[in-house]
Amino acid sequence: MRVCVVGSGGREHALAHVLGRTAEVVVTPGNAAIPGSVPAPPEEVEADLFIVGPEAPLVDGLADRLRAAGRAVFGPGADGARLEGSKAWMKDLLAAAAVPTARYGSFADERSALDFLRTLPGPWVVKTDGLAAGKGVLVTGRLDEAEDDVRAKLAGESFGDAGRTVVIEEGLTGPELSVLAICDGSRAVPLAPAQDFKRVGDDDTGPNTGGMGAYSPVPFAGADVVGTVMDGFVEPTLAELRRRGIDYRGVLYAGLMLTSDGPRLLEYNVRFGDPEAQVVLPRLTTDLAELLAAAAAGDLRRAPGAAFGDDACVAVVLASAGYPGEPRRGDVIDGLDAATARGATVFAAGVARDGDGRLVTAGGRVLAITGTGATIAAARRHAYAGVGCVSWPGMHHRSDIALRPGGKPGRGPNGPAP
Ligand code: AMP
């Protein structure tokens, strides 16, 4: 089977790496470090299966255009991608499907937004309705900060048009969990759960990012938790999508918080997580190309299912100077061969070649260094051994990825285990 992966980041590199076990893979446009990268637009690539990696082209209808041209595509059409493209639409769909989520309101005008905000006890959560690369969410214990954020978002100052509608939510606490399900329009197969780390600094400090690291498996998220997520979240959502005439074939990624009142949905993404893909997909022992081809064909019954090995996987994201603000570009990256020699797998995102053919930084999140091991601790050691080999001016990363798997008292992904 010849498979075309659309995208240029670490997620697409991980997809290509794992698909390459059984399929011939091209990546468009890919990047300077992903083998099989081709500059042609996806419409001009010949392949038996197209897998659209990032959310923006999905929201923009790339899967619809490819399907209209007769291609087999794994990735929802623009209708289903609204789950990620509009948080207000997503929250309304959750209400219709009776999926548990944080109390919320969505607003385009400042007066009613601020009025609603002030009725909540705090902490306060303010989200852009539209896409913001994982950075459009403010969680704060200060009402004045939440108010300022509402004003800046609605005025279009901080996130342009993506913020002209905001979703305001009550703040929840508890450990977070990502469960990704492969969907064929009516059936869904869960992948192994992962935890990711969204804030830029150790101990979940600093602003939200696209993701600074991840690990899988998650000690407290066994088959019972996955079953609860499938029965109470994924299945009712797929049913509600179907009821609205939406044939959802792609990844449904549930971002959950396990609160003391039970799991609550924080967000849906309509594609593999980045960096979750880098720790979940390498653990697959079944054929990923077969699985995604079956979902694309609307018939997961013919797929081998999704089985995972016992080994754990930990990914640490290396970011460039300035990230999650405007990243500096053009810094020369050293040490990749040494990292690979230490047994780490390097998935490349924001990279390019300079005039001398050297690999340089070309974006905020540059590399995800992934380690594998019999335990999470061993996988973590292998990942950080790889991280220790790599450097460029201004490089930064978190040092606490998977340090306390399963949780410690606190907030964010390391919050207390239920
Ligand atoms: P989202 O993009 O909606 O997943 O939000 C990004 C991050 O913000 C999540 O991973 C959480 O850490 C945090 N977050 C989102 N919604 C809430 C909420 N209602 N309560 C507390 N934290 C939240």
From the CA of 173, give the closest atom in ligand 1.
21
The reply to whether ligand 1 has any atom less than 6 angstroms from the CB of 273 is no
Measure the CA angle with vertex 299, ends 296 and 304; round to 5°.
95
> What percentage of the chain exceeds 70 in pLDDT?
97
Cβ contact 15:5 at 8 Å: yes
Kindly state if the Cβ of 208 falls inside 6 Å of ligand 1.
yes
36-94 pLDDT, tens digit each: 999 999 999 999 999 999 999 999 999 999 999 999 999 999 999 999 989 889 999 99
Listing DSSP states for 20-54 in one string gives TTTSEEEEEE--TTSTTB--S-GGG---SEEEE-S
Ligand 1 neighbourhood includes 120 CB (under 6 angstroms): no
For residue 68, the tally of other CB atoms under 10 A from its CB is 10
pLDDT tens sequence across 257-303: 999 999 999 999 999 999 999 999 999 999 999 999 999 999 999 98
Q: Is the CB of 102 under 6 A from ligand 1?
A: yes
Q: What is the per-residue pLDDT for 122?
A: 84
The number of CA neighbours under 13 Å toward the Cβ of 139 is 18
Which amino acid does the sequence have at 131?
L
Give the residue whose CA is nearest to atom 10 of ligand 1: 198
Token pair, residue 309, equals 């090995």
Ligand 1 mutation target, pool 125, 159, 170, most atoms within 8 A of CB: 125
